[in-house]
């Protein structure tokens, strides 16, 4: 099933049933692929039947003129057409050739219809997705909001997809359909324009900001004090890590002026004291919110598990600082590794660019959606990183049989009934209820019905009864124009047009960087970002009090931007956009903490000091920089620890002379990261509630509700973590760097204290805890890598395995060998520029990667370079399935042909689509 898909809480039996269903499907796939018991029909011919035709001619009735599709050795297509509708029609056809199964699974996710493909195991996930209503919002967007021109392009794209599907048996579309045919009567439906629009909702969900932090802070109240929780969510370190925009202010007309001098005190705060809980009391909702966290984990995270790790790098350098004299632009979004990759490389070219055919663009697209998301046209280049704006709020709702309470009056729910069709089973019906804030996500779990039973709320709060419901307010649940923005960016020719397009890029809120052939560089922060009447969005709000409602959205004109800043470069890597002390609107309280961005800033400054210039290869080298910031802080202290155990001392010696780089063959990096993981576990992880700790992480603790000393009536209990290891805490990201930074200067702290056990004495000081972490790390790596430290390497711990996203995530090893690829031993690490992320609470496996890399040579486009994580094809066993991964793992880039002569020279196959 799609990654991170599990049954919601209270559904363990259903979860096991789902696993058995998946196992059956995997066995059938095994029979399908290797030909056991089915003869030659199920062998090689079936696998190859769905491979695309890439040469010769194919007739498409919907075309108005010939379209050429030229593919290079990596299968990357460049499409040439005479008009815009033919161009997007051909894009739909070509993407369906390579990636239709991926597209089909995605649209079933966004519509809450996975059960139609994979059966009963997906009913609960579908129910939650139907409650969110992505598809309904996408339909409303298409019907009422998007421009006629955008709808024309979407329809043309859908026509192209359907032209490919016409008269094809499912097994001839992708080998996975042959497997599904063995388990039911699944039929492929025609593609619709709304299928494309809905994908933006899934993208927005995975980039939604601080919702998990909002839950986690609330969960921590069962174990930690308000002061301790504040320590675990420190303020952004503006003195250490500069924000994206370091100048500018909102003027008297309410517009952001990037040239204005910002002074401290210009900024204002909204609502109550940060961290204030519902009803004005400190604290948050009860640990019942752990049930919501589990439900969120059950939603397929198509871009990756949501949390501190998600991010991206992008930066642009002015021509006055480059060897070419023109701007250079780099981008590498950090997302979960997927097979096939989330991205699809492509060029869309009007043969003659004119007022009636305006596109000459190339870059990275999403399969299932027309246009180019990241890339360049003949005048401008652009890149994206996640801004991380806080665009979601959870509301506690006092609900009853007739509705929900607001200001002492009962309002009726807005309700609808949804029918979930189930492959091989009976239909299921659910009722979706919504309040004025949004859908009641608590309706999807029996445990969530009791959310708020222990919430510390003020005296003005209504009687909790059996608990409060939980609703979700989220900007993406309102129709928007992001699809309009994508086409407008693709054809923009200057910064004015680029900003005008960005105005409609409402969700997900992204950092947009820019460069053009006239030598200009720029930045814009777009997005529909709420303005709150009260509170700061860090904790759930009381829905029964209308004074906590959103009062509107930050006007686009107030959002920060830059144009040709004096420093000559712009870096975005999920750090703070602007200093909150000088900016009047709240974007979020939960930025990334700036380790990657500051490292990039430092690398640029180092390279350009004394008149130095940056080359395209320098940009590539920066993308693969793997230096660990936490090592620069912690390693000197580790070397000072007096270690008497010779085996631990042997490991400690690995750290002597280490330069903090995390190469795949580095034994020092392996040991340091193991020590870091154990420091986090001892100092913080063992003090967190079970809802935040990883599954299988079991410790003896005093019950949360206990008071007084441990005795016979109040004895320790065995408590095991409950969270998916990919999203557990402490994850080791750069938030934890800032938690630990001040503590390393304190010999004594409550965080350094740990209880003893039969093998290790209790710790009371920093050095005692560090010594214990070094010992634990030594024996952990002995078990994982062997006794001889000379054989250790970071890459052996830190491995990437690419998994087929539906049929390669579980089951017999032989099936995984057939459908999956890897492992690759990688360097890099969490919060490094080369962000091969791992979760310290869960292990060392790579769960985040630079999903693609590109370096754009503005104006000299054919000297630009790019690479994808996997390959162009979504067909297992096709030569372009993972043909880019080896080079990607080495940090290499491929030539990116753009001009007609360069494309012709690189072309290996040419296909003509004819009317």
The dihedrals phi and psi of 512, each to the nearest 5 degrees, come to -110, 120
Question: 301 pLDDT exceeds 60?
Answer: no
Confidence of residue 268 (pLDDT cuts 50, 70, 90): very low
Of the candidate ranges 65-69, 310-314, 360-364, the one whose mean pLDDT is the lowest? 310-314
Residue 208: C-alpha distances to residues 204, 311, 346, 504 (Å): 6, 12, 27, 17
User: How far apart are the two ends of the chain, measured CA to CA in Å?
Assistant: 39
Question: 246 pLDDT exceeds 80?
Answer: yes
What's the pLDDT at 202? 84
Sequential DSSP letters for 251-304: -TTS-EETTSPP-TT-----SSSTTB-GGG-BS---TTHHHHHHHHHHS--SS-
Confidence of residue 444 (pLDDT cuts 50, 70, 90): confident
Question: 490 pLDDT exceeds 50?
Answer: yes
Residue 579: C-alpha distances to residues 240, 263, 569, 633, 731 (Å): 12, 10, 18, 25, 26
Instruction: Name residue 717's beta-bridge partners.
Output: 701
Question: Tens digit of pLDDT for each residue in 736-770?
Answer: 999 999 999 999 999 999 998 888 899 999 999 99
Q: Give the range with max mean pLDDT: 27-31, 286-290, 545-549.
A: 545-549
The mean pLDDT of 448-466, rounded to a whole number, is: 54
Pairwise CA distance, residues 88 & 81, whole Å? 9
Question: 40 pLDDT exceeds 60?
Answer: no
The mean pLDDT of 856-873, rounded to a whole number, is: 98
Give me the percent of the chain exceeding a pLDDT of 90: 72
Of the candidate ranges 251-260, 276-285, 291-300, 825-834, the one whose mean pLDDT is the lowest? 276-285
Pairwise CA distance, residues 685 & 247, whole Å? 39
What's the pLDDT at 845? 96
In the numeric block, which tokens belong to residue 266?
Answer: 């210009």
Pair 643, 844: CB distance under 8 Å = no
What's the pLDDT at 453? 45
Confidence of residue 299 (pLDDT cuts 50, 70, 90): low
- Please tell me the pTM assigned to this model: 0.92
In the numeric block, which tokens belong to residue 820?
Answer: 């999956």
In the numeric block, which tokens belong to residue 263?
Answer: 């002074």
Pair 524, 561: CB distance under 8 Å = yes
Question: 547 pLDDT exceeds 80?
Answer: yes
Pairwise CA distance, residues 216 & 243, whole Å? 25
Pairwise CA distance, residues 560 & 200, whole Å? 23
What's the pLDDT at 549? 95
Confidence of residue 479 (pLDDT cuts 50, 70, 90): very high
Q: What is the mean pLDDT of the chain?
A: 88
What's the pLDDT at 370? 98
Give per-residue burial for 160-183: e unless 16+ CB within 10 Å, then b: bbbbbbeeeebbebbbbbbbbbbb
The mean pLDDT of 128-150, rounded to a whole number, is: 96
Question: 35 pLDDT exceeds 70?
Answer: no
Q: Give the range with max mean pLDDT: 300-304, 335-339, 646-650.
A: 646-650
In the numeric block, which tokens belong to residue 379?
Answer: 């005048």
CA 199 to chain centre: 14
What's the pLDDT at 756? 85
SS (H, E, C) 488-521: HHHHCCCHHHHHHHHCCCCCCCEEEEEEECCCCE
Question: Tens digit of pLDDT for each residue in 362-385?
Answer: 999 999 999 999 999 999 999 999
Give me the percent of the chain exceeding a pLDDT of 70: 84
Classify strands 328-335 and 821-825 as parallel, antiparallel or unpaired: unpaired
The mean pLDDT of 592-621, rounded to a whole number, is: 97
Question: 82 pLDDT exceeds 50?
Answer: yes
What's the pLDDT at 20? 41
Confidence of residue 315 (pLDDT cuts 50, 70, 90): very high
Pair 315, 597: CB distance under 8 Å = no
Pairwise CA distance, residues 736 & 742, whole Å? 11
What's the pLDDT at 203? 84
Pairwise CA distance, residues 384 & 501, whole Å? 14
Question: 230 pLDDT exceeds 70?
Answer: yes
Dihedral through CA 267, CA 271, CA 277, CA 281, nearest 10? 110
Sequential DSSP letters for 53-89: P-SEEEE-TT-SS-EEEEE-TT--EEEEESSHHHHHH
The dihedrals phi and psi of 807, each to the nearest 5 degrees, come to -110, 5
Classify strands 77-81 and 343-350 as parallel, antiparallel or unpaired: parallel
Question: 797 pLDDT exceeds 50?
Answer: yes
Between 913 and 174, where is the model more confident?
913
Question: Tens digit of pLDDT for each residue in 398-421?
Answer: 988 889 999 999 999 999 999 999
The mean pLDDT of 695-699, rounded to a whole number, is: 92
Pairwise CA distance, residues 263 & 590, whole Å? 22
Confidence of residue 894 (pLDDT cuts 50, 70, 90): very high
Burial of 234 (0-12, 13-18, 19+ CB in 10 A): middle
In the numeric block, which tokens belong to residue 162?
Answer: 């359907």
What's the pLDDT at 455? 43
Could you tell me the sign of the dihedral formed by the alpha carbons of 319, 324, 326, 329, in that order? negative
Question: 895 pLDDT exceeds 70?
Answer: yes
Question: Tens digit of pLDDT for each residue in 332-363?
Answer: 999 889 899 999 999 999 999 999 999 999 99
Question: 15 pLDDT exceeds 50?
Answer: no
Question: 199 pLDDT exceeds 60?
Answer: yes
What's the pLDDT at 204? 83
Between 224 and 442, where is the model more confident?
224
Confidence of residue 280 (pLDDT cuts 50, 70, 90): very low
Question: Tens digit of pLDDT for each residue in 556-574?
Answer: 999 999 999 999 999 999 9
What's the pLDDT at 34? 44
Of 301, 303, 314, 319, nearest to 363 by C-alpha is: 314
In the numeric block, which tokens belong to residue 645?
Answer: 């155990």
Residues 6 or more apart whose CB falls under 8 angstroms from that of 28 comprise 179, 182, 183
What's the pLDDT at 124? 87
What's the pLDDT at 819? 77
Question: 139 pLDDT exceeds 60?
Answer: yes
Tallying the residues shown for the chain, one arrives at 915
Pairwise CA distance, residues 902 & 896, whole Å? 9
């Amino acid at each position: 099933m799609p990654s991170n898909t599990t049954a919601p809480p209270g559904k363990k039996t259903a979860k096991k049933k789902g696993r058995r269903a998946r196992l059956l499907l995997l066995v059938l796939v095994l029979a399908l692929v290797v030909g056991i018991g089915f003869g030659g029909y199920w062998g090689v011919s079936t696998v190859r039947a769905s491979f695309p035709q890439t040469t010769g001619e194919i007739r498409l009735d919907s075309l108005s003129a010939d379209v050429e599709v030229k593919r290079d050795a990596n299968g990357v297509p460049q499409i040439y057409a005479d008009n815009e509708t033919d161009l997007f029609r051909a894009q739909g056809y070509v993407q369906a050739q390579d990636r239709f199964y991926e597209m089909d699974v995605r649209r079933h996710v966004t519509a809450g219809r996975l059960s139609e493909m994979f059966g009963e195991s997906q009913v609960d996930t579908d129910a939650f997705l139907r409650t969110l209503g992505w598809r309904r919002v996408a339909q409303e967007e298409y019907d009422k909001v998007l421009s006629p021109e955008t709808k024309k392009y979407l329809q043309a794209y859908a026509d192209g997809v359907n032209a490919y599907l016409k008269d094809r048996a499912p097994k001839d579309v992708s080998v996975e359909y042959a497997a599904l045919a063995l388990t039911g009567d699944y039929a492929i439906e025609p593609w619709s324009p709304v299928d494309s629009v809905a994908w933006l909702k899934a993208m927005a969900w995975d980039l939604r900001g601080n919702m998990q932090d909002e839950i986690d802070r609330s969960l921590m109240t069962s174990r930690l004090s308000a002061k301790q929780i504040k320590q675990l969510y420190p303020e952004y370190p503006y003195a250490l890590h500069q924000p994206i925009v370091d100048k500018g202010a909102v003027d008297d007309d309410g517009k952001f002026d990037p040239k204005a001098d910002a002074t401290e005190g210009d900024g204002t705060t909204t609502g109550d004291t940060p961290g204030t809980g519902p009803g004005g009391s400190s604290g948050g909702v009860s640990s019942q919110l752990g049930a919501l966290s589990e439900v969120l984990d059950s939603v397929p995270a198509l871009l990756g598990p949501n949390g501190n790790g998600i991010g991206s790098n992008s930066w642009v350098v002015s021509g006055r600082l480059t060897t070419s004299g023109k701007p250079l632009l780099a981008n590498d979004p950090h997302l979960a590794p997927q097979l096939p990759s989330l991205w699809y490389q492509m060029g869309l070219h009007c043969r003659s660019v004119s007022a009636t055919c305006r596109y000459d663009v190339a870059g990275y697209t999403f399969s299932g959606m027309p246009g180019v998301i990241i890339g360049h046209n003949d005048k401008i280049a652009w890149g994206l990183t996640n801004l991380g704006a806080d665009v979601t709020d959870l509301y506690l709702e006092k609900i009853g049989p007739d509705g929900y309470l607001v200001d002492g009056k009962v309002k009726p729910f807005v309700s609808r009934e949804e029918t979930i069709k189930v492959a091989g089973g009976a239909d299921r019906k659910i009722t979706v209820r919504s309040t004025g804030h949004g859908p009641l996500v608590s309706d999807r779990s029996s445990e969530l019905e009791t959310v708020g039973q222990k919430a510390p709320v003020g005296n003005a709060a209504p009687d909790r009864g059996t608990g409060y419901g939980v609703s979700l307010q989220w900007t993406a649940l309102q129709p928007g124009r992001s699809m309009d923005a994508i086409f407008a960016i693709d054809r923009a020719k200057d910064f004015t047009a680029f900003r005008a397009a960005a105005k409609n890029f409402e969700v997900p809120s992204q950092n947009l960087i820019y460069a053009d052939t006239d030598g200009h560089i720029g930045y814009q922060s777009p997005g529909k970002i709420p303005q709150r009447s009260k509170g700061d969005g860090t904790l759930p709000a009381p829905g029964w009090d209308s004074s906590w409602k959103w009062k509107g959205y930050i006007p686009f004109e107030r959002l920060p931007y830059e144009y040709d800043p004096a420093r000559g470069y712009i870096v975005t890597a999920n750090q703070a956009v602007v200093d909150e002390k000088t900016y009047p609107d709240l974007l979020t309280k939960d930025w990334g903490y700036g380790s990657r961005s500051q490292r990039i800033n430092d690398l640029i400054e180092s390279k350009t000091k004394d008149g130095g210039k940056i080359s395209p290869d320098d940009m590539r080298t920066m993308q693969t920089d793997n230096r660990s910031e936490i090592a620069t802080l912690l390693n000197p202290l580790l070397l000072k620890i007096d270690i008497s155990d010779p085996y631990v001392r042997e490991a400690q010696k690995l750290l002597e002379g280490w330069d903090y780089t995390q190469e795949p063959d580095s034994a020092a990096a392996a040991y340091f990261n193991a020590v870091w993981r154990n420091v986090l576990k001892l100092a913080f992880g063992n003090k967190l509630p079970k809802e935040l700790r990883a599954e299988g992480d079991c410790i003896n603790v005093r019950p949360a509700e206990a008071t007084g000393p441990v005795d016979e009536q109040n004895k320790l209990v065995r408590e095991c973590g409950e969270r998916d290891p990919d999203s557990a805490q402490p994850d080791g990201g750069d938030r934890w760097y800032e938690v630990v930074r001040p503590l390393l200067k304190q010999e004594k702290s409550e965080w350094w204290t740990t209880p003893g056990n039969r093998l290790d004495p209790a710790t009371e000081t920093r050095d005692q805890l560090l010594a214990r972490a070094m010992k634990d790390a030594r024996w952990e790596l002995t078990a994982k890598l062997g006794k001889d430290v000379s054989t250790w390497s970071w890459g052996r711990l830190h491995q990437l395995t690419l998994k087929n996203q539906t049929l390669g995530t579980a089951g017999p090893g032989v099936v995984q060998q057939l459908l999956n690829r890897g492992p690759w031993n990688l360097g890099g690490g969490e919060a490094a520029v080369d962000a091969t992320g791992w979760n310290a609470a869960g292990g060392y496996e790579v769960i985040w990667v630079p999903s693609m890399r590109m370096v754009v040579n503005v104006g000299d486009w054919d000297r630009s370079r790019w690479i994808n994580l996997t390959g162009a094809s979504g067909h297992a066993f096709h030569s372009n399935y993972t043909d880019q991964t080896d080079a990607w793992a080495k940090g290499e880039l491929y030539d990116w042909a753009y001009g007609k002569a360069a494309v012709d020279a690189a072309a290996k196959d040419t296909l003509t689509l004819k009317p």
